[in-house]
């Protein structure tokens, strides 16, 4: 049985799209490969553990630059793990810098496959963007050139940001565990859910909170549940400042059945991203048969068929967002139709078994041709 070493910034129990994607992928393929996963630890110590038959190495970081964890010694840790495990293929997951780049560098002559989950990281801020442009033109380019195959998580990435590498791109979108994320009848009313990392601005939580100012004047007993981690101090303060704190509940980071339970007791998922790629939270909500509102950015447009399997609104437009929320919560027939069509789309197009099979075909081909 071949060994695959995965180098990624996120893995279980992280709730980011990449974290969930990599855990589910490895879990689906654990009977086909010996998986070893190298990831960044949230703690200060080196750790080894086994999760669902997957060997996991957690490497501590020294500091963060912007939102990027960094430890100059990771290269030597990864080289030691490679010497110990002797993998047949190394798969880095990007674009969070540094950790996946070191995985590519440490790979040497071992076949290397890159998974890419987001378009350009340009933020629209002068200093960070200078650093990002340097990274993308030097280090990311090295990783892209080294990869035998680049697995993109959406066609949007392959046709836009990575269009110059189309000859080595394979698109394999996110999957969803349809045995875990299932519908359930609920008696709750007017409950909205947001799921995501709100340390980062691009998830757009600010605009959802601003939209709630308008919604509360039209929908009685409205409630917004915020699932995930982020800058609690800032957002608690913002909620008080704009007078919506009694309508908002911060749930913290949730996993598995606890996360599913929050979807099942919600009437609507709102994802107000400023930019995004292929957010798994949309798939999760649709699998639980609740309607979805997203912004017309990135590959969100590939997930949501506007007016059919969900509603799309422009990014950074709190009034359009508020109007869409009010429209769905007031019109049960529309809400049920969106939910049913979204659910059907997930069942037909996004099961994990197909994603695992396609990834296995890529890995097997690269190993075979080495």
pLDDT value, residue 156: 87
pLDDT value, residue 132: 84
137 and 105: one domain? yes
Long-range contacts of 251-255 (CB under 8 A, 24+ apart): 251/225, 251/226, 251/227, 252/227, 252/228, 253/13, 253/15, 253/227, 253/228, 253/229, 254/15, 254/227, 255/13, 255/15
pLDDT value, residue 120: 75
Residue found under tokens 């002559």: 109
233 and 307: one domain? yes
204 and 86: one domain? no
E strand spans, 208-352: 223-227, 248-252, 268-271, 292-295, 311-313
In a domain, 184, yes or no: no
Six-digit token string for 86: 């002797």
28 and 109: one domain? yes
In a domain, 337, yes or no: yes
Specify the 3-state DSSP secondary structure of 306: strand
In a domain, 180, yes or no: no
Compute how many other C-beta atoms are within 10 angstroms of the C-beta atom of residue 13: 13
CA atoms of 110 and 85, how far apart (whole Å): 12
Q: Which of 245, 252, 216 is nearest to 325 (CA)?
A: 216
pLDDT value, residue 122: 74
Q: Which domain holds residue 250?
A: 191-349
CA atoms of 136 and 320, how far apart (whole Å): 34
CA atoms of 261 and 241, how far apart (whole Å): 30
Q: What is the CA radius of gyration of the chain?
A: 21
pLDDT value, residue 344: 97
In a domain, 181, yes or no: no
361 and 275: one domain? no
CA 249 remoteness from chain centre: 22
Contact 35, 6 (CB under 8 A): yes
pLDDT value, residue 42: 65
132 and 249: one domain? no
In a domain, 186, yes or no: no
In a domain, 182, yes or no: no
151 and 196: one domain? no
pLDDT value, residue 117: 87
pLDDT in tens, the chain (370 residues): 899 999 998 888 776 778 888 998 999 999 998 988 888 776 678 999 999 999 999 999 998 877 788 899 999 999 999 999 999 999 999 888 899 999 999 999 999 999 998 877 776 778 778 888 888 899 999 999 999 999 998 888 888 899 999 999 999 998 888 999 999 988 889 999 999 988 878 899 999 999 999 999 999 899 999 999 999 999 999 999 999 999 999 999 998 899 999 999 999 999 999 988 788 899 999 999 999 999 999 889 989 999 999 999 999 999 999 999 999 999 999 999 999 999 999 999 998 888 999 999 999 999 998 7
226 and 340: one domain? yes
Tell me the CATH number at 219.
Answer: 3.40.50.2000
Q: Which residues lie closer than 8 Å to 220 by C-beta, 6 or more apart?
A: 190
CA atoms of 193 and 282, how far apart (whole Å): 11
196 and 304: one domain? yes
39 DSSP β-pair partners: 8, 58
In a domain, 266, yes or no: yes
294 DSSP β-pair partners: 271, 312
243 and 345: one domain? yes
| φ, ψ at 112 (rounded to 5°) | -125, 130
* Dihedral of the alpha carbons of 246, 250, 256, 258, in degrees to the nearest 10: -40
- Start-to-end CA span in the chain (Å): 16
166 and 205: one domain? no
What kind and span of H or E run contains 6? strand 3-8
CA atoms of 70 and 40, how far apart (whole Å): 9
169 and 275: one domain? no
User: Number of structural domains, the chain?
Assistant: 2
Under DSSP, the state recorded for 75 is H
pLDDT value, residue 339: 98
Contact 328, 313 (CB under 8 A): no
């Amino acid at each position: 049985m071949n060994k695959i070493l995965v180098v990624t910034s996120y893995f279980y129990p992280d709730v980011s799209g990449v974290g969930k994607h990599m855990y589910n992928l490895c879990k689906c393929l654990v009977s086909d490969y010996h998986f070893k996963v190298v990831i960044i630890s949230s703690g200060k110590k080196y750790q080894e553990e086994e999760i669902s038959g997957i060997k996991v190495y957690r490497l501590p970081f020294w500091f963060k630059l912007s939102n990027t964890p960094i430890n100059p010694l990771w290269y030597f840790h990864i080289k030691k793990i490679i010497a110990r495990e002797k993998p047949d293929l190394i798969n880095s997951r990007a674009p969070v810098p540094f950790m996946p780049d070191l995985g590519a560098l440490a790979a040497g002559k071992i076949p290397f496959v890159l998974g890419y989950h987001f378009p350009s990281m340009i933020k629209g801020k002068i200093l960070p963007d200078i650093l990002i442009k340097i990274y993308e033109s030097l280090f990311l380019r090295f990783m892209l050139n080294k990869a035998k195959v680049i697995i993109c998580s959406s066609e949007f990435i392959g046709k836009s940001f990575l269009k110059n590498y189309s000859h080595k791109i394979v698109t394999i979108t996110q999957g969803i565990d349809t045995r875990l994320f299932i519908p359930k009848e609920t008696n709750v009313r007017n409950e909205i859910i947001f799921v995501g990392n709100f340390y980062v601005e691009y998830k757009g939580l600010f605009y959802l909170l601003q939209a709630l100012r308008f919604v509360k004047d039209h929908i009685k007993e409205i409630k917004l549940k915020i699932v995930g981690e982020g800058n609690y101090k800032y957002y608690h303060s913002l909620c008080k400042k704009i007078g919506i704190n009694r309508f908002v509940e911060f749930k913290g980071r949730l996993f598995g059945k606890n996360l599913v339970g929050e979807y099942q007791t919600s009437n609507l998922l709102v994802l107000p991203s400023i930019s995004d790629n292929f957010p798994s939270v949309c798939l999760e909500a649709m699998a639980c048969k609740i309607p979805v509102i997203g912004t017309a950015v990135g590959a969100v447009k590939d997930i949501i068929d506007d007016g059919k399997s969900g509603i799309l609104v422009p990014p950074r437009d709190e009034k359009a967002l508020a109007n869409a929320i009010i429209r769905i919560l007031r019109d049960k027939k529309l809400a049920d139709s969106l939910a049913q069509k979204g659910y059907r789309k997930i069942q037909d197009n996004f099961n994990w078994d197909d994603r695992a099979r396609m990834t296995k075909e890529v890995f097997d081909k690269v190993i075979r041709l080495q």
